């Protein structure tokens, strides 16, 4: 499970509930949608879903 956490300076990020055993971390809100191109997870950036894998770069419209 992914939860919202805070850094020591108060900045919000998303990470695993069993941190630090799980190394997952992202600044953007993760989506339940998987990337159609590589199968990775998508994050919300403005009105778009963007693949978190920088080498993939797949972008989709955010359905709300």
Spans of all domains in the chain: 2-61
Its pTM surpasses 0.75:
no
pLDDT tens-digit readout, 28-43: 999 999 999 999 999 9
Residue 62 clears pLDDT 80, i.e. is over it: yes
3-class DSSP string for the chain: CEEEEECCCCCEEEEECCCCCCCCEECCCEEEEECCCCCCEEEEECCEEEECCCCCCCEEECCC
Residue 64, pLDDT above cutoff 70: no
Q: Rounded mean pLDDT of the chain?
A: 91
Which of the four pLDDT bands, split at 50, 70 and 90, describes residue 21? confident
């Amino acid at each position: 499970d992914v939860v919202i956490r805070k850094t020591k300076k108060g900045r919000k990020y998303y990470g695993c509930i069993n941190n630090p055993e799980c190394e997952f971390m992202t600044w953007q809100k993760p989506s339940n949608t998987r990337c159609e191109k590589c199968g990775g997870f998508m994050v919300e950036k403005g009105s778009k879903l963007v693949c978190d894998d920088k080498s993939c770069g797949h972008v989709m419209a955010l359905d709300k």
